[in-house]
Structure 1
Amino acid sequence: MDRQIRVPITKEDVKSLKAGDYVYLSGTIYSARDAAHKRMIETIEAGEELPVDLTGQMIYYMGPSPAREGRPIGSAGPTTASRMDKYTPKLLDMGLAGMIGKGKRTKEVIDAVVRNTSVYFAAVGGAGALLSKCIKNAEVVAYDDLGTEAIRRLEVENLPAIVVVDCEGNNLYETAILEYQTEK
């Protein structure tokens, strides 16, 4: 089912999504990768406030290439989500509503998605140039010293994604295998 979703995403929208749904995200999301996640967790553990309030927000696991003239961002494809798995449960427990990346997630992340009524989307890997066209504005808002891994606030319009893990723990990567498996 194709859905238009405004981000930041509401709990009602999260609850309505099912693994396998095709969605188009429009609104504000944040980009952050490994180094930014590590720094966010270090900040939390030091008892300090994060530079961005992630409550109800969506993080896109993406580090863009340099923007071409006249564009807000360069190629903006998803990175492998599992690299953030050791940090994700804590961020979800603090109110992060969802993530966009590619690839499988650990049981700990899936449990945190369910526990927090969150969602994990996949974007198409290898389509960074096309995905960048959905990004209308990009602004570094934290950790500028990390370069491409800095946290950016992105204004997106119709960013295509697929629900991989819904808030009930249904996992498209598992159900799709079962659907297409053949008996021998």
Structure 2
Amino acid sequence: MEVAVNIHLPFTKDVIKTLKAGDNISVSGVMFTARDAAHKRMAEALAAGKPLPFDLTGQTIYYAGPCPAKPGRVIGSCGPTTSCRMDQFAPALLDLGLLAMVGKGDRSDAVADAIKRNGAVYLAAIGGAGALYANAIKQADVIAYEDLGPESVKRLVVENMPLTVVIDCFGNNLYRRAS
């Protein structure tokens, strides 16, 4: 994958405005993992008026449930999960300041609308390339919901993680372009 842009996380809206659907980028910095069970718990926390495990403002959530690390490794295989499973939760999180989501597969119209409304971005990771992504992860720490095992919320420090912009902040969707 030829990388067009190298970005340091967290994203800013100014950087996001430069990204277009179809761009190949490389990101370095901090992002968080959260999948189905973690999203459900975050929604429950919000409904109960409780704080989330991390401040969403400007952050990136990677839809991944990493495998346990082998000896001498930071993390095990860490490929993306299917993003549409988080679609019921994503608009609310975007409205609270989340700026980027990483996963695989298309998103619902409601998520695409929330991305555009909030000046955010949806990025794709390559399904089946969990070992590649594990190599880009330099640090991984569980910060919430440890009882969920692989689905706990983790703070990741990544370096040169290759991703593709699927839905840009203008609403352009790489998966829905006319051929």
TM-score by length of 1: 0.95
The one-letter code of the counterpart of 1:48 is K
Which whole-Å CA distance do the structure 1 matches of 2:158 and 2:173 have between them?
Answer: 25
Alignment match, 1:77: 79
Q: Does 1:117 align with 2:119?
A: yes
Which whole-Å CA distance do the structure 1 matches of 2:152 and 2:68 have between them?
Answer: 13
1:104-143 matches, within 5 Å, as 104-143=106-145
The one-letter code of the counterpart of 1:78 is P
Q: Where does the alignment leave 5 or more consecutive residues of structure 1 unmatched? A: 180-184
Alignment match, 1:31: 33
Aligned residues: 177
How far is the alpha carbon of 1:54 from its aligned partner?
1.1
Alignment match, 1:87: 89
How far is the alpha carbon of 1:131 from its aligned partner?
1.1
How far is the alpha carbon of 1:93 from its aligned partner?
0.2
The one-letter code of the counterpart of 2:154 is R
Task: Give the secondary-structure state (helix, strand or coil) at the position aligned to 1:105.
Answer: coil
Alignment match, 2:18: 16
RMSD: 0.7
Task: Give the secondary-structure state (helix, strand or coil) at the position aligned to 1:169.
Answer: coil
Alignment match, 1:171: 173
Alignment match, 1:3: 5
Alignment match, 1:155: 157
Spell out, residue by residue over 1:99-121, the C-alpha distance to the aligned partner (whole angstroms, 9 max, x if none). 00000100000000000000000
Moved >6 Å (runs of 4+):
none
The one-letter code of the counterpart of 2:106 is K
The one-letter code of the counterpart of 1:84 is M
How far is the alpha carbon of 1:23 from its aligned partner?
0.3
The one-letter code of the counterpart of 1:131 is Y
The one-letter code of the counterpart of 2:51 is E
Which whole-Å CA distance do the structure 2 matches of 1:42 and 1:161 have between them?
Answer: 30
Calculate percent identity across the aligned residue pairs. Answer: 57
Which whole-Å CA distance do the structure 1 matches of 2:141 and 2:74 have between them?
Answer: 8
